[in-house]
Structure 1
Amino acid sequence: MHNGRPLTLVGAIFALAGLVLLGVTVALTASTASFLASAQRTEGTVTGLTARTTTSRDSDGYTRRSTTWYPTVEFTAGGRQYSFQSSTGNNPPAYREGEGVPVAYDPGNPSDARISTFWSAFLAPVITGGLGAVFASIGTILFVLGRRSAKKR
């Protein structure tokens, strides 16, 4: 019989990784919420889509290519035209050229702008939060099972 130490160690590592991811989630959410709270809003237009293709090789040796489309958006603030490329891409593309999109921008620095939709703003925190919750939960369960197993010996 094993004494539960490996299970406790793996659980602790998973729980710690989960807590780190949850901390990253809080920081990302706070940063995005702060930006959106002070941002001005306007309507922008998608002027182009930039394709970024990544290539990976799976364990069977097959090469896989994946293309993600990043919209470029133009908007007007203070009588000047600004343009930015979204940091969030999609496959298939989430927008079409010529489509109107909501834009949030820093009034002190209009070149700091983002598409102002829930998924564009909060995709990263949703992903890190989900992974953090899963890792922390699994880690806690493994840790508790490992401790119980060690106490039974």
Structure 2
Amino acid sequence: MDHKEPHQLSASSNPAREDACTALQMQAGGEATVWFLFVLLLLAGPAIIGVGIHDVVRRRRLRRGGISVEGLVVRHHASRNQGGFHYFAVISFVDAQGSPHEFQANGSGVKGLPVGGRAPVRYLPDAPKTARLDTAWQRFLGIALPFGIGIVFTATGIWGISTGR
């Protein structure tokens, strides 16, 4: 007759204990993952703000020393991502030396920029590759988006790490 005392049962033969151990391991792994994400947000936030600062400095240089010209929207470039298509205006302009140039607007959305329509362009003298669309909306988005996203990421990272969530 094979008889085992209850205290002789191994931990692996107790399904309830196995489930509890697995749950604790998953919880510890999940907490580490969440903590890692908060640290990642905390690092990404200032980096995104840095990109915004770089853009502000570049736009300021364009406003102070740039040449303003009238460009022409020659086509729209479609870019596909998970949410569908985004359209970017492709603008052609002639620099002060009479050379033609073309660039794609940084921001998507072409409602106010139909093909064949005029578009304000600003570029640095002797550097037409610095050309940017010079609309109030583009200037606002160039500042608001990176600063807003960077602040939210940084605040979320600080909150998550300080509360231990």
Higher relative CO (CA 8 A, sep ≥ 6), structure 1 or 2? 1
Query: TM-score, normalization: structure 1?
Result: 0.67
Q: Shift in Å at residue 142 of structure 1? A: 1.5
2:70 pairs with 35, 43, 58, which one? Answer: 43
Q: Shift in Å at residue 111 of structure 1? A: 5.1
Q: Shift in Å at residue 106 of structure 1? A: 1.7
The structure with the greater share of residues assigned to helix is 2
2:38 aligns with 11
Q: Which structure has the larger Rg over C-alpha atoms? A: 2
Q: Shift in Å at residue 54 of structure 1? A: 1.5
Following the alignment from structure 2 to structure 1, what is the Cα–Cα distance between the partners of residues 128 and 161? 48
1:138 partnered with 2:164:
no
1:74 pairs with 82, 90, 93, which one? Answer: 93
The structure with the greater share of residues assigned to strand is 1
| 1:50-84 CA-partner distances (Å, limit 9, x unpaired) | 3324154xxxxxxx641413232324524x15232
Aligned pair count? 137
2:114 aligns with 96
**Structure 2 residue identity aligned to 1:72:** I
Is there any run of 5+ residues in structure 2 with no aligned partner, and where?
1-26
Counterpart contact for 1:29–1:122, Cα < 8 Å: no
1:114 aligns with 132
1:61 aligns with none
Following the alignment from structure 1 to structure 2, what is the Cα–Cα distance between the partners of residues 134 and 22? 10
Following the alignment from structure 2 to structure 1, what is the Cα–Cα distance between the partners of residues 53 and 81? 32
| 1:118-151 CA-partner distances (Å, limit 9, x unpaired) | 33345344322221111111111112212xx9xx
- Identity score, percent: 21
Is there any run of 5+ residues in structure 1 with no aligned partner, and where?
57-63
**Structure 2 residue identity aligned to 1:33:** R
1:60 aligns with none
Farther off after superposition, 129-138 or 109-118: 109-118
